[in-house]
């Protein structure tokens, strides 16, 4: 099996996703965790864009592009919400990380 361009994108998406996943669980600061979720999104979008043109001879498939645009809009709103929430937590409690015993 020969390595094709598409496979490279796929592996890259997998790596970016793994980095994002590590960030969400290993970083302590809220901001880093939120940025890590953005990397998860970036991995999914990279893969979607790469599948839109698997064969160099075909015209690119517009459907994945539409999905990426929708996905970006959704991801932006979700991160805006997460950032607003993190700021509110900081304003109310002064915390920027989850601490042991935070559970009510």
Partner 1 sequence: MSGLLVTLPLILPIVGALVCLFLPARARPWFGLAASLAITLAVLALARATVLSGELTHSLGGWAPPLGIALRVDGLACVFLLLTAFVGLPVGVYAAKYFALPAEAKGEAFLFWPLWLFLWAAMNGIYLSVDLFNLYVVIEVLGISAVALAILSGRPAALLGGLRYLLAALVGSMAYLLGVALIYGSFGTLDLTLLGALADTGFTTRLALSLILTGLLVKTALFPLHFWLPSAHASADPPVSAILSSLVVKASFYLILRLWVDVFDATLTYAIGQAMGALGAVAVVWGSYQALRQKSLKLMVAHSTVGQVGYLFLLFPLITVAYEGLGDSPWLVHAWTGGIYQALAHGFAKAAMFLAVGIFVLATGTDDRESIVNMVGRLPMTTFAFALAGVSLIGLPPSGGFVAKWMLLKAAFSSGQWWWAPMVLWGSFLTAGYVFMILRVAFAPSRGSDRLRPVPRVLEAAALALGIGAILIGFRAEEILTLIDIESPFADLVDPNEGGISP
- Residues 1-40, mask of contacts with partner 1 (x by CB under 8 A): -----x---x--x---x--xx--x-----x--xx--x--x
Measure CA 46 to chain center.
Answer: 10
- Residues 42-81, mask of contacts with partner 1 (x by CB under 8 A): -xx--xx-xx--x------x-xx--x--xx--x--xx--x
The helix-helix angle for 62-93 and 30-51 (nearest 10°) equals 180
- Does 93 sit near partner 1 (CB under 8 A)? yes
Please state the closest distance from residue 22 (CB atom) to partner 1, in A.
Answer: 11
Residue 97, strand partner residues: 29
Residue 34: burial class (beta carbons within 10 Å; 0-12, 13-18, 19+) = buried
């Amino acid at each position: 099996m020969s390595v094709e361009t598409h496979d490279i994108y796929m592996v890259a998406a997998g790596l970016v996703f793994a980095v994002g996943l590590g960030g969400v669980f290993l970083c302590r600061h809220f901001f880093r965790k939120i940025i890590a979720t953005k990397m998860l999104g970036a991995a999914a979008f990279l893969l979607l864009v790469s599948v839109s043109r698997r064969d160099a001879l075909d015209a690119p498939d517009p459907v994945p592009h539409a999905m990426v645009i929708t996905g970006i809009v959704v991801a932006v709103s979700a991160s805006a919400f997460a950032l607003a929430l993190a700021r509110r937590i900081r304003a109310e409690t002064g915390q920027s990380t989850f601490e042991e015993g935070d559970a009510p």
